[in-house]
A and B are shown apart, each in its own frame.
Chain A
């Protein structure tokens, strides 16, 4: 729990700097790691950066705009295809590289909100 109920009841008598001690940072960092996440896969970030690098037409001269394909300048199709590639890799990351490990749909009721963090009166 980041801030306890009892601690909050006397909170107004404390200096601002005193609040920091009441947050349980061990609990915070224990809770933060999902079973799997995209950044844990070493290829994910380089792949994203590579797609972004190709999507920016730094390797083409500005005058290339005169060449059209399907009604648009050819170079814009490169950016559109890169956008599609980024969407595919993002969807893959979301569906296959991210596993929470604890929470699945339908379990929401079991998630008891911390009154301290949520600001609710207990």
Chain B
């Protein structure tokens, strides 16, 4: 470890705050259970579609901005330098992409009672193979997403406990609490805890932003420091960097907009007005959160040069830990910020896990194994599956710790595949003549190409998984869209005689 990195010592006060926070989460889970109106999938996985603006906005916010935003994005900013400012654009773009398909998907969800994103896929295309492939790709992405949160949980608790709790103890503690409140109250409990977690996150981000721009000379001192030690990190991107920039915009802008747990929040809205207002507000959030993560990495680059890839994931902890001894007020502010980081991690992990459970239960178990399964049976299966998946992911988090896998690598594995669903939603809601065969072929070949490029780089067959500066997933996506459009133009689906072409 770099010798200039500060030791973070929070003391027992921080542990008491963390303990109190976890008790509140459990209480909300219990309350969610008591408020359950019926034992149905809609009530458990969508909270009965009753979320108004405040809860919907906070649950969208807490879900979208994860431990990865405050830890992983800051780490990436540290490694990449000023060019990671692209993160602000792609997080706004995610909400812009919602403007393309959400108005139509929301109507369909209301009319036909969708629970999962793949309800739409099957309803629109009528292909079992396509539905199963979508579930596999989405669950793959979500499982990696949860895994990434587990890694962040471990780092977060390790830091907040000042080393009294190990990485794995932190993971087990937070996962235990999370599984209990989620299993008790389902989406209702998750959304209510998200509301608390989102509020904490908003306050925490405001505190960090104020602290960063006022302490130790702020950004000006940081830039001067970088200019002295690594001036190339201030440069605008070169030709290859520009291609990577556009590739990142496409992959994250389109991929993050397809997170199933975010789509399910569209389904969970009380009505159109709540949803429109929530999404409008969400568009501005990257300017407070993603930009903040960028600035943390930027400042860390000037203060702690030379960190390894794994250590770069902890720059948020290092930057804030360096401020903790300034005053008692600062101590409690930083403790609150770390509680917000833990909140962000848990709120994202619980939503993703709930989404995995819903897709397995509804789209696989009910559709292919037990068509006659009751709602009660499906809920039990969904919870059991979620607990099982979590056990596997905890094991993988431990492995990732042992192998020094960085958070950023996990993110790419997630989105490279998930983004292949983009034509299903972006074209699927507009283009009636696009047949299932075109979408399925495009998705299979797009995913296959992504996998080939990725594996080739992993096994040193070729040097990079981003040929010409463009990510493997984006190459796959280009092939995918090309097939969907080309196939539909050449062999469009037949429409009923009553429908004008």
Contact = CB atoms under 8 A, between A and B. Distances in A.
B116 to A, nearest CB: 8
A18 B483 CA distance: 25
Contacts of A80: 85, 88, 287, 291
A108 B43 CA distance: 13
Among B100, B222, B436: residue with most chain A CB under 10 A = B100
Nearest to B38: A120
B222 A119 contact: no
A94 to B, nearest CB: 4
Contact of B273 (A79, A93, A104): A104
Interface in A19-54: 19-20, 23, 25-26, 28-29, 31-34, 37-39, 44, 48, 52
Contacts of B150: none
B93 A118 contact: no
Nearest to B125: A20
B378 A119 contact: yes
Nearest to B377: A121
A61 B234 CA distance: 12
A73 B234 contact: yes
Contacts of A95: 276-277, 280
B491 interface: no
A104 B245 contact: no
A83 interface: yes
Report, nearest first, the 8 A-B pairs whose CB atoms are least far apart.
A71-B219, A113-B113, A105-B271, A65-B234, A20-B126, A65-B235, A118-B113, A91-B280
A90 B42 contact: no
Interface string B366-391: 11000111110010000000000000
Contacts, number: 234
Contact of A56 (B82, B103, B245): B245
B277 to A, nearest CB: 7
Interface of B: 40-42, 49-50, 52, 82, 85-86, 88-89, 92-93, 95-96, 99-100, 103-104, 106-108, 110-115, 119, 122-124, 126-128, 213, 218-223, 227, 231-232, 234-238, 241-242, 245-246, 249, 270-274, 276-277, 279-281, 283-284, 286-287, 291, 298, 362, 366-367, 371-375, 378, 429-430, 432, 436, 496, 498-499
Contacts of A93: 96, 99
Chain B interface helix/strand/loop/mixed: helix
Contacts of B237: 57, 62
Contacts of A29: 432, 499
A94 B429 CA distance: 18
Contact of B128 (A19, A26, A94, A112): A19
26 contacts: A1-B112, A12-B371, A16-B128, A37-B104, A55-B89, A58-B242, A60-B236, A62-B238, A62-B241, A64-B235, A68-B223, A68-B227, A70-B219, A71-B219, A73-B235, A75-B236, A80-B291, A83-B291, A86-B92, A88-B283, A94-B283, A95-B280, A102-B107, A104-B273, A107-B271, A118-B112
Interface of A: 1-2, 8, 11-12, 16, 19-20, 23, 25-26, 28-29, 31-34, 37-39, 44, 48, 52, 55-58, 60-66, 68, 70-73, 75-76, 79-80, 82-84, 86-91, 93-95, 97-100, 102-108, 111-115, 117-121
A100 B272 contact: yes
Given A19-B126, A73-B235, 6 more contacts: A63-B235, A71-B220, A79-B89, A107-B271, A111-B111, A121-B373
A100 B107 contact: yes
A38 B100 contact: yes
Contacts of A33: 104, 107
B276 A118 contact: no
Contacts of A112: 113
A46 B48 CA distance: 38
Contacts of A115: 113
B366 A83 contact: no
A74 to B, nearest CB: 9
B236 A64 contact: yes
A90 B89 CA distance: 12
Contacts of B221: 71
A31 B227 contact: no
Given A65-B234, A94-B283, A26 B499 contact: yes
Given A31-B108, A103-B110, A79 B85 contact: yes
Contacts of B231: 65-66
A16 B128 CA distance: 7
A28 B271 contact: no
Contact of A117 (B112, B232, B235, B271): B112
Given A100-B103, A100-B106, A115-B113, A87 B287 contact: yes
A87 B49 CA distance: 26
Contacts of A107: 271
B270 A106 contact: yes
Contacts of B111: 31, 111, 114
A94 B280 contact: yes
A58 B241 CA distance: 10
A32 B41 contact: no
Contacts of B274: 105
Nearest to A67: B234
B115 A118 contact: yes
Among A20, A23, A106, A108: residue with most chain B CB under 10 A = A108
A56 B122 CA distance: 37
A87 to B, nearest CB: 4
Nearest to A64: B236
